[in-house]
Amino acid sequence: MKKINIGLLGFGTVGTGVARILLEERDLLRARAGVDLNLKYVADIDLTTDRGVALPAGVLIDDAQRVIHDPEVDIVLEMIGGKGIAKDMMLAAIRKGKHVVTANKALLASHGNEIVREASENGVNLAFEASTGGCMPVIKTLRESLVGNRISGMIGILNGTCNYILTKISDEGCPFAEALAEAQTKGYAEADPTLDVEGLDTAHKLAILNSLAYGMEINLNDIYVEGIPRITPMDIEFASEFGYRIKLLAISKDKGEAIEARIHPTMIPFDNLLSNVNGTVNAITFSCSAADDILLYGRGAGMMPTASAVVADIVDLARNMLSCAGVRVPMLSCQMENIKDIPIMPVEDIKTHYYFRFAALDRPGVLSKIAGILGNHQISIKSVHQKGRKTDGAVPIVMLTHRAVEKSVSQALSKITALDVVADKPILIRIEDDDREE
């Protein structure tokens, strides 16, 4: 039986999970893949910490270069993370003709086009199922299962930290800071949670998925990103009264000439399955020309779920190697020469439904002033709710709008903020509800 040698760079959380599956399930993988997957090296600067995985003697080394330069190594796993050394190692491995597997979404979102081009020119694969959605087969589904479909849009919960925090605020009515602290205690959030809670991690993933769904280059910079730290229990409670839950969503839509792509807290109706995806779990819906809506749901992070996706990539590459298939499935879903330059629409141009909450002083005429400004900006109000709950001496006025243009909304809200009867910056939360009338 043919043996395929694997070199793992980075013996951290995901690397440990991958090593565990490769060692503990070696027989199972052999029975399924028809090839022996041999973990030849694990390279890490830390040779002493016990990760709970018994590596055979000689496998753990501290010299990543040895992995890259060993001609026997067929597949290199980049599990280092970050954009510095990880990128250098990846490019070096590619230039040595090795296939590379990575889970590094930040690197791919920023430098993916360059790395894919390099891989393509060297006739090797860059596999990255684990970069997005953890164990959910989002990459394979887009690239292979939906190959006969035009993707008109996707909407997903792609960050378990944010989803855990929003679920907790929602269930317990606690403030953001408390929910975040609990997420940190439980290991669901990093000590510095910025990348997660401000939405950038979700944007990394959407940038990758956009490329695969729409046949475009990876474009992170033009995605609109807004995080969850300003979400309050009060807004979650109001949302619930209107039949919505608030989730941090990655949303993209094919608008023909341009792609709409944005990350922000979003109200979605109870009967949307995504609204019932709670805790650290991820889920995504693809809207497709033939298949209609497909939803995937699963653990988007964590040692073993991420390792599951890495191993799927390894077996895919091993199967290619067995049949000398080279780059069998184009890395960005289209043949390199067919990748299009599709721009992402400026967020000012999007059109959606909005929820506003104003902290208004309880004086006559306030509502008419606010409504007047909205009307002047062609923002049509669907309903107004004045709940009488005083916050800081002001009364919350909540409005739901019909579909409006983001640019008009920004302008109107600036003017409303400047009113002397409005105590605070208004809260704006976008609503994603296909069933709502215009």
Catalytic machinery residues: 205
* Cα–Cα dist 118/77, whole Å: 17
Q: How far is the CB of 123 from a second copy (least distance, A)?
A: 12
Q: How far is the CB of 250 from a second copy (least distance, A)?
A: 18
Nearest to 209 by CA among 245, 247, 249: 249
Q: How far is the CB of 180 from a second copy (least distance, A)?
A: 24
Q: By CB under 8 A, name the one of 320, 360, 400, 422 that touches a second copy.
A: 320
What distance separates the 2 farthest-apart alpha carbons in the chain?
83
Q: Which stretch binds a second copy (CB under 8 A): 169-177, 272-280, 349-357, 373-381?
A: 272-280
* Cα–Cα dist 36/22, whole Å: 10
Q: By CB under 8 A, name the one of 34, 84, 123, 243 that touches a second copy.
A: 34
* Cα–Cα dist 337/296, whole Å: 30
In angstroms, the first-to-last Cα distance of the chain is: 62
Q: Does 433 bind a second copy (CB under 8 A)?
A: no
Q: Which residue has the tokens 């890259």?
A: 68
- Residues in CB range of 130: below 8 A, 6 or more apart: 14, 101, 102, 103, 306, 307, 309, 310, 313
Q: Does 23 bind a second copy (CB under 8 A)?
A: no
Q: Does 29 bind a second copy (CB under 8 A)?
A: yes
The phi, psi pair for 234, rounded to 5°, reads -65, -45
Residue placing its CB nearer to a second copy in the complex, 275 or 352: 275
| 3-class SS of residue 228 | coil
Q: Does 346 bind a second copy (CB under 8 A)?
A: no
Q: How far is the CB of 110 from a second copy (least distance, A)?
A: 25
Q: Structure tokens of 194?
A: 């910025």
| 3-class SS of residue 170 | helix
- Which residues are 102's β-sheet partners? 78
Q: By CB under 8 A, name the one of 174, 294, 419, 428 that touches a second copy.
A: 294
Q: Does 141 bind a second copy (CB under 8 A)?
A: yes
Q: Which stretch binds a second copy (CB under 8 A): 106-114, 304-312, 377-385, 394-402?
A: 304-312
Could you list the residues that contact a second copy (CB under 8 A)?
A: 17, 21, 25, 28-29, 31-34, 129, 134-137, 140-141, 144-150, 215, 271, 273, 276-277, 283, 288-299, 302, 304-305, 307-309, 311-312, 314-316, 319-320, 322-326, 328-330, 333-335, 338
